[in-house]
Amino acid sequence: MGSNSCLNFAITHHCVYLSPSFSPNSKLHNPNPNHNQFLLSRSSFIPIATSSFALHSNHTLSHPRSKKLPLRNAPNFYVAASAKAVPLKVMISGAPASGKGTQCELITQKYGLVHIAAGDLLRVEVAAASENGKRAKEYMEKGELVPDEIVVMMVKERLLQPDSQEKGWLLDGYPRSSSQAAALEDFGIHPDIFILLEVPEDNLVERVVGRRLDPLTGKIYHLKYSPPESEEIASRLTQRFDDTEERVKLRLHTHHQNVEAVLSTYKDITVKVNGNVAKENVFAQIDAALTELLEQREVNSGSLTA
């Protein structure tokens, strides 16, 4: 089995499969060597490739949904090739406790994106008692936005890390103001989709005060809606310092002051999601939107090659 830095090859009976990152266990590998067919499950497809081509024994290159292209000097066997993926760039937004973090867990599990949460980055600084952390805490305790000079570069640097660039990113709770949105645009950072979770305000306070976090796994729980699986987990759960009824009201006030400016920046790519149903049903809506986005890309890349 050959291997080079760009493309790897796998030969099984009548088929040759090429992918940017083939391994013997790769899901790109056709599980049934008797099928001369390009097989990709959606979940394996997403992090790896956004366009795919098949080189047939009649020497044509085609995308599954496009016309066949003639190829010279083509080998006399069936080849499926995956072009390097263009990673997904997703923003998720919503009021405090609308379920952003909960959905991010589910999205990253399926789509393999790098989860970047502005609040989490700030809490790391607070826990480290860094200068930025000490300053940030003053604002977080009041439910106000932490100043841009602390947040903007912090998020930008995380977005530009190699893992975010390679796997794609899922930006949670950022941008939260017109100046943050403008800074991202200035840096040339633009999402493919902006997901907005909608939850009636009455439910948000209850979600905040019942929220608990597992410091070992980072998993988010709710005492009523998503209780811990065991006594052992229950005994180690912690509560965020800003998760009180009084503070969430301040956070909601800040959210209302800023949300419109952010929404107007991304209105053309906004998908509104009903966040007031069970978390699995919220995820089903998000999953449908991301799937549609990827399918659209696949069609577009096919028509480009046609």
- Contact residues toward ligand AP5 (CB under 6 A) are 94, 96-102, 118-119, 122, 139-140, 143-146, 151, 173-174, 176, 180, 207, 210-211, 220-222, 225-226, 251, 275, 278-279, 282
Selecting among 68, 135, 167, 240, the annotated active-site residue is 240
Pick 54 or 106: Cβ nearer ligand AP5: 106
- In the three-class reduction of DSSP (H, G, I as helix; E, B as strand; rest coil), residue 63 is classed as coil
Which position among 137, 158, 176, 212 bears the catalytic label? Answer: 176
Between 29 and 100, name the residue whose CB sits nearer to ligand AP5.
100
Helix (H, G, I), strand (E, B) or coil at 13: coil
CB of 246: closest distance to ligand AP5 in angstroms?
Answer: 13
Which of these, 172, 197, 192, 191, lies nearest to 273 by C-alpha position? 197
Closest alpha carbon to 243 in 203, 205, 199: 205
Least Å from the CB of residue 207 to ligand AP5: 3
Closest to ligand AP5 by CB, 136 or 193: 136
Residue 90 and residue 81: Cα distance in Å, rounded? 26
Q: For residue 209, how far is the Cα from the chain centroid?
A: 27
**Least Å from the CB of residue 198 to ligand AP5:** 11
Task: Name the residue with the smallest CB distance to ligand AP5.
Answer: 119
Q: Which is nearer to ligand AP5, 79 or 282 (CB)?
A: 282
Q: Is 251 a catalytic residue?
A: yes
247 is catalytic: no
How far apart are the C-alpha atoms of 24 and 33, rounded to whole Å? Answer: 13
List 270's β-bridge partners, or say none: 194
Please name the residues in contact with 231: beta carbons below 8 A apart, sequence gap of 6 or more.
none
CB atoms within 10 A of CB 3: 10
The values of phi and psi at residue 70, to 5°, are: -70, 145
Residue 154, both tokens: 């912090």
Question: For residue 133, what are its two tokens?
Answer: 């952390």
Selection from 88, 78, 40 nearest residue 57 by Cα: 78
Backbone angles phi, psi at 294, to 5 degrees: -70, -40
**In the block, residue with structure tokens 């390097």:** 84
Q: How far is the CB of 287 from ligand AP5 (least distance, A)?
A: 14
Closer to ligand AP5 by Cβ: residue 158 or 211: 211
249 is catalytic: no
Nearest-approach distance from CB 201 to ligand AP5, in angstroms: 13
Is 207 annotated in the active site? no
- Vertex 27, ends 22 and 32: CA angle to 5°? 105
- Would residue 211 show up in a list of annotated catalytic residues for this protein? yes
Least Å from the CB of residue 46 to ligand AP5: 22
Residue number, 79 or 104, with CB nearest to ligand AP5: 104
Selected catalytic residue, list 137, 158, 207, 211? 211
Count of other CB atoms within 10 angstroms of residue 158 = 19
Active site residues: 100, 176, 211, 240, 251
